[in-house]
Amino acid sequence: MTTRYPQLRLAGGVKFVALLMTCVAISLAMPAAAAPVATAPYSVSVFAHSPAGSSQPDSIVSWHDHVIVGFANHANKDGTGGGKSTIVQFSQSGAVERSFTVPGHNDGLRVVGGDQLWALQNEDANPNLVVINLVTGIQLQYQFPTTPHGGGYDDIAVVDGAVYLTASNPSVSPNIYPALVRATLSGSMVILQPVLYGNATVTDIATGQPVLLDLQDPDSMTVDRHGTVVFVSQADSELIFVRHPGSSEPVVGRLALSTPGGATITIDDTAFAPARSKALIVTDINADTIYRIERHVLGASGFEQGQAYSASDTLSFVGTLNIDNGVVAPFVSGFGSPRGLLFLTDEAGSNSDE
């Protein structure tokens, strides 16, 4: 009989079982992986772990009563190397229902027109778009024209049926190119129309004074309950609010972000609590885990309608966002690196910014 682990045969009559027990004791002595900790009245639990063969959960949306998450699988952000991402559909209890594969590094998801899932890949360069019909499962891939800003496109938002993208990773400073664009499809191409330039003069929300932008990192997007497009310029530590994005003269404000102590902060996703919200789902790209946050006050569950919540990817917490002064106050800390946020509601289905 062949010995599977011949290196474990020790001299002097030491038995294998003794060595095995020593290894077990060492393993038990090792600390368990840290889990996020919530401050009352919030609680946090695991919604789901990354399915086998998938890793790095990031973007998250809903479709009817399903939760859909993009897993980047360590694919390169510029699309090189042949990497692929996995788009996984979960039930609201966290069970895997089905999955799709898309080419490149997924970093943007949105349901458009009811049943069309737009999956946006390669935010650093060489972007592509895959549109998945969630009823039939049919996938169509679209290409972008050469990006004027030299980077890719990161996230997607929908207002009044119009689709908007953030133009990420610009190669110039000051950024004189479009930072927010409107997207339509024609044939196999994505057609883009500028909405907001990276060097626009806008209003500082906290002071009311004009400020000149230099958006170096347009990233995650959401829509507030008034139909305002809100996107983060992540490395610049600021949120940009674009009201009436479909008009010829949108109203734009800039909100500088900070911690309660006044330090600047980077965030990824932001979400505004809808009516009858029952849980906030959070993807943690470093922990390969998706979490569920709940809020219970005086025996009642739910989040305050309209309250903004943000995920800090670098400080590893989810916090409330004060949209008057930009302060993000943590209430769940200890994540690996939280990214996507999605509210579930008591109604059939959930919000996905549509």
Q: What is the pLDDT of residues 232-265, one digit of tens each?
A: 999 999 999 999 999 999 999 999 999 999 999 9
Answer yes or no: is 7 within a domain. no
pLDDT at residue 14 tops 80: no
Q: What is the pLDDT of residues 273-313, one digit of tens each?
A: 999 999 999 999 999 999 999 999 987 788 999 999 999 99
Least confident of 105-114, 182-191, 280-289, 338-347: 338-347
Answer yes or no: is 9 within a domain. no
**DSSP letter (8 states) at residue 303:** -
Residues 76-81 have a mean pLDDT of 98
What is the pLDDT confidence band of residue 33, given thresholds at 50, 70 and 90?
low
What gap in Å lies between CA 321 and CA 7, rounded to an integer? 57
Residues 193-219 have a mean pLDDT of 98
pLDDT of the residue at 4:
31
Answer yes or no: is 49 within a domain. yes
Q: What is the mean pLDDT of the chain?
A: 90
Residues of the domain holding 321: 36-345
Answer yes or no: is 2 within a domain. no
pLDDT of the residue at 70:
98
Answer yes or no: is 8 within a domain. no
Answer yes or no: is 249 within a domain. yes
Q: What is the pTM of this model?
A: 0.89
Answer yes or no: is 170 within a domain. yes
pLDDT of the residue at 300:
76
The CATH number for 281's domain is 2.120.10.30
What is the pLDDT confidence band of residue 85, given thresholds at 50, 70 and 90?
very high
**Among 73, 242, 76, CA closest to 157:** 242
What gap in Å lies between CA 148 and CA 67, rounded to an integer? 34
Number of domains in the chain: 1
What gap in Å lies between CA 113 and CA 187, rounded to an integer? 18
